């Protein structure tokens, strides 16, 4: 089966979803491909900052997402010895210290708008296996499998919005430089105790960061930095002493931790690295988000950077000039901001422990 569109976007995460909507709204035909059976299954960041919020509001999308469920963080607290010693509140003009938006809510809020356009379609359970080129070497489409069937999608432009292990980047042989940050991350989720306020809470376990993020639906997401590559060794050790550190850091969570984190299987490991590409695409291909500049979880910048990428790229893509589009302009508009974010992440990681030096006794 063959399909044809002005633009084929691979990866239905926030960046790919937003770009799909903006291009469809501007009259371009768009086919969005997602390898998962259900939208929102892949793990991605779920915290909007004020920049990501502004992008959604500028395109009248924020209210649709908010109606599906969001949660504004009301404070940031630093803990030592089981007690708060420093609290930061948001500026009144912003009104929050980040917004938790469940992945499914964000994607549904955006794509339900895109689906209003007959020239937009989304193919789930569709995995790209090959890129197509013309006689001059320009990429003109993809080969994919959908529900076990081989299909072809022809397009004037292919967008790789398919994350840190991008298939499009790999098949286009676009070089990537990775940087390790000395830590990996364990994620877990527990129920919040009654009366828990929407907040971000931080503690220091040894020299590693432990973070709590309140989530929609009465949950708390735990992010626990561990030594890079150490999880296999950790799992050989006793589980109880390890998890006891969490209850000591946040005593009010002891009962919930005991109930919901009962083995190493209740953690999800994230291999932490950042990366950047010298080129953000090639003839017929553009990359955005983690596919071209992978962020670490620090500061929750990744989601917001992807939304800004999509917003910027959409402003450059016009139906009548797609065949002549060069990715260089997009890269020049966004690369400096991305370098600044990556530098900010590194600074936050290197200075996190300093927040605890003058803690109250």
- Residue range 16-42: average pLDDT? 93
| CA separation, residue 144 to residues 148, 286, 342 (Å) | 9, 18, 33
- Residue range 230-240: average pLDDT? 94
Mean of all residue pLDDT scores within the chain: 95
Query: Which tens digits make up the pLDDT trace of 277-334?
Result: 999 999 999 999 999 999 999 998 999 999 999 999 999 999 999 988 999 999 999 9
Please determine, for residue 83, whether its predicted confidence score (pLDDT) is greater than 70. Answer: yes
Please determine, for residue 276, whether its predicted confidence score (pLDDT) is greater than 60. Answer: yes
What is the model's pLDDT at position 45?
78
Dmax of the chain from CA atoms? 71
Cα separation of 180 and 171, whole Å?
23
Please determine, for residue 40, whether its predicted confidence score (pLDDT) is greater than 80. Answer: no
Please determine, for residue 361, whether its predicted confidence score (pLDDT) is greater than 90. Answer: no
Please determine, for residue 44, whether its predicted confidence score (pLDDT) is greater than 90. Answer: no
Please determine, for residue 123, whether its predicted confidence score (pLDDT) is greater than 80. Answer: yes
| DSSP annotation string for 113-174 | HHTTSTTEEEE-SEEEEEEEE-TTS-EEEEEEEETTEEEEEEEEEEEE---TT-HHHHHTT-
| DSSP annotation string for 272-292 | -EEEE-S-SEETTEEE-GGGT
What is the model's pLDDT at position 360?
57
- Residue range 21-50: average pLDDT? 90
Please determine, for residue 85, whether its predicted confidence score (pLDDT) is greater than 70. Answer: yes
- Residue range 215-223: average pLDDT? 96
Contact 102, 110 (CB under 8 A): no
Cα separation of 145 and 163, whole Å?
19
- Residue range 15-35: average pLDDT? 98
Please determine, for residue 351, whether its predicted confidence score (pLDDT) is greater than 60. Answer: yes
What is the model's pLDDT at position 11?
97
What is the model's pLDDT at position 176?
96
């Amino acid at each position: 089966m063959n399909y044809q569109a002005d633009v084929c976007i691979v990866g239905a995460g926030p960046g790919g979803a937003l770009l799909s909507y903006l291009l469809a709204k501007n009259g371009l035909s768009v086919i969005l491909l997602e390898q998962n059976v259900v939208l929102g299954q892949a793990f991605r960041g779920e915290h909007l900052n004020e920049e990501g919020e502004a992008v959604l509001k500028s395109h009248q999308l924020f209210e649709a997402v908010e109606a599906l469920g969001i949660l504004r963080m009301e404070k940031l607290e630093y803990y030592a010895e089981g007690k708060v010693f420093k609290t930061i509140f948001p500026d009144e003009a912003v009104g929050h210290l980040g917004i938790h938006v469940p992945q499914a809510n964000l994607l549904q809020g955006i794509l339900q708008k895109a689906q209003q356009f007959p020239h937009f379609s989304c193919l789930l359970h569709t995995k790209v296996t090959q890129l197509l080129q013309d006689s001059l070497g320009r990429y003109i489409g993809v080969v994919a499998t959908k529900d076990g069937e081989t299909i072809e999608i022809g397009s004037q432009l292919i967008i790789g919005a398919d994350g840190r292990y991008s298939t499009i980047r790999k098949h286009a042989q676009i070089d990537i430089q990775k940087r390790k940050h000395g830590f990996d991350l364990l994620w877990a989720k527990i129920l919040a105790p009654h009366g828990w306020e929407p907040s971000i809470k931080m503690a220091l376990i040894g020299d590693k960061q432990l973070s709590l993020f309140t989530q929609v639906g009465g949950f708390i997401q735990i992010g626990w930095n561990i030594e890079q590559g150490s999880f296999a060794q950790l799992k050989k050790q006793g589980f109880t002493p390890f998890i006891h550190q969490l209850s000591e850091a946040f005593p009010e969570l002891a009962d919930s931790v005991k109930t919901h984190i009962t083995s190493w299987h209740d953690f999800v490991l994230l291999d932490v690295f950042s990366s950047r590409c010298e080129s953000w695409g090639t003839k017929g291909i553009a990359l955005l988000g983690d596919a071209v500049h992978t962020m670490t979880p620090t500061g929750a910048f990744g989601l917001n950077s992807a939304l800004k990428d999509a917003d910027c790229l959409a402003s450059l893509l016009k139906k009548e000039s797609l065949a002549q589009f060069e990715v260089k302009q997009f890269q020049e508009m966004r690369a400096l901001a991305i370098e600044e974010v990556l530098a900010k992440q590194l600074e936050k990681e290197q200075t996190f422990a300093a927040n605890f030096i003058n803690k109250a006794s």
